[in-house]
Structure 1
């Protein structure tokens, strides 16, 4: 801002007059172009066939204008401001009604009401609180929210019915009724998330904001894929519980339902195992960088209330180093081999090296105890991730103990594959023993053993789910489907969100993530976006992951035919929603583009 100080006296010099003239012109120009924060010079209209919000001057000659792009987005487009796009939505009335959220009356079915259902509703209320402040008026508008579900099932797996029905009916200027029906609490939770997205802030004055609600909407919704996941890796770099909770909140806002927690690796073993305290004593980066047993259990419940199930991964036999080195001291021999071997390129894919020792039977006893502890964390243990990728054959081939163990069988690649298969077979037996049944589904990564030539030799299609991490040009998923395996797909050249920050990898923007279409086949359970942890920690992992992961969320929920260009207004709005909820999602466009849809 210019600062003008005239000469003493009442008369101005010619330079003073010229300066004042240009000051007035400059200030007027600043006001005209919206740079004056004291008042808004813009409004928005729903244009382009009622699909896009366009910014116009405040004096635009129309009664159908909105004071913010958020209000416009709520009333504009086939899917309103919703992310992900619902399976079916019918907007009966695009008008908005202002409500005081403090006046919402919530009625539930007492038959199935419990602690979890009350917590689900409290999360919904908390999300609304972040959208308004000190709402004083519109108390006369009665908003009745009827919530009903027909089962007390609290198990979230690939067979859970997550569908819901939602109807908003504005009966008069002072009466709004909302009906939600779901098969279970998870469908209800999704409906409440959708309902929260059908509302946005409505400023009454400088000190008060209420909520605006779309007047009449009918939604029947369900996901296309049953597995809509995000992988987090907290072994390479420790992630705090608070950070993991933020990811869960972002997943809930985006209707993602499986958090794949890669909790251990050769770098560290931060997961507390009560039966074997040595795992964290020898494996955690420090005492403060461990996951306490009770904290993991609480986090699992925190996720469930938000419609997110945590799947723990104990990677083996590769990616196992620190945390396992106490064997000789305890009289159990070498539990791991090639630990921190140098030069590392001769013993592993990535430093520090480390692989479990299949020649030492004590390894399986330790694994069984760890499995038992992990099963105790989970309310159900029918799904577990065993890792199982990137076994480095030269490590075993150069370990005297292992070479002696396979003596007489030779040292061909096939022999080492068979050894790897033996490890997997025994590990599965120990997991089944820990669980107490043989019905669990075991997820493993694609590897040499899942090559179509070998896979049926080592894996039972009725027990194992294969997580593929090949590029979209690779036909491996199609071949594995033909062999009868169920799949989770993590497209390496679109859904690996750590790419672009190391080596020759390429960064995948949200449009690339969104437009990656995976196979639509009964054998494809769904997909996962992956944020591996080599180059992220608490300081950057949220922004690296979000909002890009949300782009995959819509692909996995409704798999629309729309291009990223057609959905960008809703996507940008969803990023703002995440910000409002305290999730530091990274910027994906200049602010100007957010205010001017379709022009970037």
Structure 2
């Protein structure tokens, strides 16, 4: 049976690849596609019904099928129809998960298309439904019966989008969530604001939004935010909002009444700004914005405070800052940033009394203190983690190479900006943890900064490179023994799948190579010999 398992593993093109899959030899035709059934021994709550509706639409995409009939406990033995028997331990609607076991699932499909799913909650159910949808290629399922036991390696698997440099409409953000789900990604990190704009409508300081938005309706309301969070939760994706300070805040000071709290850094285009951390008004505005953030994003686990790239030269431009530092015993600009961060945290934890954990950007040059419960998003290289001393925090990896998806296509001013990170670069990357590293890796994110991205380029830049990251973070051991042409077959099928569902992703190769994967992608054939000896070993047993 072990040999059967390994042999048929080469047939499937599931992405990400499940941890354990045992398969047979038979094929069943899905001849009654509109007769798909979802049933359980408990009544489905609304959020599960919405998730089932989403996958019903994917499974029956080219057909005019009624969803209501699919959740009725009648005619559940129709030949040629998918029949889902769903068992969930916890029917509570979750907005995030804290362990990989919460996304684990058990899946069985027999020769009569009876599908049994066992999961802890609707997040695990979403992962199982996606696996079945991938198996049901061209209205048939091969290699039946199938038994899958699956669980991701990392709990945090996501992407970051940027709505400050170019506004992205709510509809596009929802479509992005749909794209995450079919890749088994579970985090949408939302970099909402930056120097260029503040497209989140505030309750008290709405002038910040109105004076920095790019067009009349180019902003998000509280209703928009809560709609996005709900939409994501149903599809087993968590939202992480980011409001970056004390740098990246030029947009805060465009209004005449707020100009004093922002230092416009001395550049030709006068685009970059930092908060003046010495003014009472700075903290009055900050408190109001953080209160809005906590209220709008009441159903999220984390808040990202940014915290990177503050410039000493920018602080130098305002003599009153130096005077304040002398009066308060602040010896340098590093300590000034520590002062600001402590004040910001005091507002968040003691005034607003938020329980949401905080995420900060860090690389090897960042030495600002982090509390034990702070989460570090690492935008250096994983190889540099060996230089991180005394930090036992949880880490999210976003290696500058290769997980910055905007590099290599020029910056906002038409100048060269680093080198392009190709899909093979992402394929070669995997979490690599030095021996002396004291922290814990939650997972990773690919980052799509928005200087040269808008709704016309969005999906081409995100995918398929983020699909490869999803594959790595779900099952990083898969690529160790997988023949490279087999991986490219899985990638090719993911490209076709995303195109089928209306996502204009960037092709990973041309059509000739898609038909000749063995010829175009011969790398890693050395692994073939290893698999051959594995087969011989199992045969001999």
Mapped to 2, the partners of 1:405 and 1:508 lie a distance apart of 44
SS at match of 2:289: helix
1:511 maps to: 424
Mapped to 1, the partners of 2:211 and 2:49 lie a distance apart of 41
CA gap 1:478/1:227 in 2 versus in 1, 3 angstroms: farther
The 5 Å alignment of 1:119-518 reads: 119-130=50-61, 140-153=79-92, 154-159=94-99, 161-170=102-111, 175-202=112-139, 211-212=140-141, 215-326=144-255, 329=257, 334-338=260-264, 341-343=266-268, 352-408=271-327, 415-433=332-350, 435-437=352-354, 439-446=355-362, 450-451=366-367, 455=368, 458-460=369-371, 462-472=372-382, 474-475=383-384, 477-480=385-388, 483-502=391-410, 503-518=416-431
Mapped to 1, the partners of 2:11 and 2:276 lie a distance apart of 54
Mapped to 1, the partners of 2:38 and 2:153 lie a distance apart of 29
Mapped to 1, the partners of 2:328 and 2:294 lie a distance apart of 36
Superposition deviation, residue 106 in structure 1: 1.2
The 5 Å alignment of 1:14-25 reads: none
Equivalent pairs counted in the alignment come to: 493
Summarize deviations over 1:361-397 as a string: whole Å, max 9, x none: 2222222222222222234343110000000110111
The 5 Å alignment of 1:493-572 reads: 493-502=401-410, 503-519=416-432, 523-562=440-479, 564-572=484-492
CA contact (8 A) 1:498 1:531 kept: yes
Summarize deviations over 1:287-314 as a string: whole Å, max 9, x none: 2211122112111111112211110000
Structure 1 unaligned residues grouped into runs of 5+: 1-48, 52-74, 203-210, 345-350
The 5 Å alignment of 1:72-151 reads: 77-78=9-10, 80-110=12-42, 113-130=44-61, 140-151=79-90
Mapped to 1, the partners of 2:374 and 2:271 lie a distance apart of 29
SS at match of 1:86: coil
Greater C-alpha radius of gyration? 1
Structure (1/2) with the larger helix percentage: 2
TM-score normalized with structure 1 length: 0.77
Superposition deviation, residue 357 in structure 1: 1.1
CA contact (8 A) 2:498 2:505 kept: yes
Mapped to 1, the partners of 2:389 and 2:118 lie a distance apart of 35
Mapped to 2, the partners of 1:50 and 1:146 lie a distance apart of 24
CA gap 1:593/1:139 in 2 versus in 1, 3 angstroms: farther
Mapped to 1, the partners of 2:240 and 2:298 lie a distance apart of 11
CA contact (8 A) 1:130 1:580 kept: no
CA contact (8 A) 1:94 1:215 kept: yes
Structure 2 unaligned residues grouped into runs of 5+: 67-76, 411-415, 521-541
Mapped to 1, the partners of 2:52 and 2:446 lie a distance apart of 28
SS at match of 2:113: strand
Mapped to 2, the partners of 1:481 and 1:139 lie a distance apart of 61
